Structure 1
Amino acid sequence: MEMTLDREQIKGFARKAAILLAGLFFILALYNLALQRMALTPEDGRTLIEIARSEMEGRPYSGGLSPRLFKMSPVFVSVYRDGRRVACVGYTKALFPLYESVTHLARGLGHEGEGDYQIVITVFSGYEPLNRTEGVPEGRGILVRREGFEGVVLPFTFQEQNLTDEEALLLAAQKAGFDNYTWEDFQAYTFEAQVFREE
């Protein structure tokens, strides 16, 4: 028995398929929005550190991933030796799922993974323009931009280097490659961060 469909039946199926796809995309968008609002847990931080350590030591990560590690966030990976930061790389934009970003960044730090070291993962959220009259709120980091270049000062750098707001902004400008500018010459933002230190 041969089944044939007329043009109206085909159009009806196409409309239903389009509605189903639109619904699926809407559900995925809601899921992604929910992920973005979820704070990472200490366990998530330990997982990110283990991912970084595995990558730096040249072995595959074999543990599980919580749904929160699939969210896209800017992230930095820092390496400390004897209490001093010896390397720090990161993404200031949300380019990949969090676990994947940490994998890429740690791969670039592989040469740092020899000997005794500590890993610190910093996950950014909430960029806000800097209110220059109020200064940098305590516990926030700084991002400056100019002509496509960026410089970052992580929140804990303020304490590590005993920086004032102006010193931190000038340091961020230097990291962006600009030495002979005042910080007023830049677009400046502050950001919140969750910081996870290897124990």
Structure 2
Amino acid sequence: MLVLSDEEKRQLKELAKGAIEETLFGKDREKREIPETLKQKAGAFVTLKKRGELRGCIGYTRAVLPLCDVVEKMAIESAFHDPRFNCIVEAEWEDVDIEISVISPMHRIESVDEIEVGVHGIYIEHGGHSGLLLPQVATEYNWDRDTFLEYTCYKAGLPRDAWKLKDTDIYIFSADVF
């Protein structure tokens, strides 16, 4: 996983904010020099919260694009294309906070005992269904490991106990959340 400085994290937040504001208000963004670190490929999610409540969250799980591009694209997707929510509108924008999660590569686990709540996010695949929850979700809701697994299954559209099935693949990853 990329190790980012506080300044690089600030720059990523500015990129996310600028991408949303460009779409929302038609603002032109000033071109900035992007540090080489932010041009490295990485997976990331952009989460939007309005007064602490989820308002959008979309991301890339795999490192297929430069991190700076992922953050800009996922900021726009979270604000305007998350199917769970209406688009962000001008009137609410000042109440919206941006959270970015830069994720490590995922790896398949053999035992759920490998999951550390508060450290790992979970990605579950079974029968053409898949679901992902970021590491901070379990902490925010004070879930134990089994509850975290159940809600990840639920998000995938699976029965809550699908994680116990032999042909279910479970992956974990960590995230730098800021």
- Coarse TM-score class (shorter-chain normalised): 0.7 to 0.9
User: Whose helix fraction is larger, Structure 1's or Structure 2's?
Assistant: 1
Residue 95 of structure 2 aligns to a residue in which SS? Answer: coil
CA distance in 2 between partners of 1:83 and 1:173 (Å): 24
On the 8 A contact 1:56/1:112 being kept in 2, the answer is no
Query: Structure 1 residue runs of 4+, over 6 Å off?
Result: none
Corresponding residue of 1:160? 140
2:43 paired with 1:74: yes
- Paired with 1:125 and 1:167, the residues of 2 have a C-alpha distance of 23
Please give the TM-score of this superposition, normalised by the length of structure 2.
0.80
Give 2:68's aligned residue: 99
Letter in 2 for 1:73: A
Alignment partner of 1:194 is 2:173: no
Shift of 1:175: 1.6
User: What do residues 161-189 of structure 1 show as CA deviations (whole Å, max 9, x unaligned)?
Assistant: 11111111111112222236521232111
Q: Does 1:144 align with 2:124?
A: yes
Higher CA-based Rg: 1
The letter for the 2-side match of 1:119 is I
Matching residue's letter, 2:107: E
Query: 1:54 — aligned with what?
Result: 18
Deviation (angstroms), 1:97: 0.8
Any residues of structure 2 matched to 1:112-191 within 5 Å, and which?
Answer: 112=88, 114-132=93-111, 134-138=113-117, 139-179=119-159, 181-185=161-165, 186-191=168-173
What letter corresponds to residue 127 of structure 1 in structure 2? M
Runs of 5+ in structure 1 lacking a partner? 1-36
How many angstroms apart in 1 are the aligned matches of 2:62 and 2:112?
26
Amino acid paired to 1:112: I
Contact 1:140–1:193 under 8 Å retained in 2: yes
CA distance in 2, matches of 1:136, 1:47: 31
Identify unmatched segments of 5+ residues in structure 2: 81-86
Letter in 2 for 1:80: K
Q: Deviations over 1:62-121 (max 9, x none)?
A: 332111111111110001111222211111122211111111111221432623111000
The Cα RMSD (Å) is: 2.0
Partner residue, 1:28: none
The answer to whether the Cα contact below 8 Å between 2:62 and 2:105 also exists between their aligned partners in 1 is no
Matched positions, count: 160
Q: Check conservation: 1:51, 1:61, Cα contact below 8 A.
A: no
Quote the offset at 1:130 in angstroms.
2.8
Normalised by the size of structure 1, how large is the TM-score?
A: 0.72
**Residues 135 and 165 in structure 1, CA contact (< 8 A), matched pair in contact too:** no
Please say if residues 76 and 91 of structure 1, whose CA atoms lie closer than 8 Å, have aligned partners that are also in contact: yes
Aligned residue runs from structure 1 range 27-46, under 5 A: 38-46=2-10
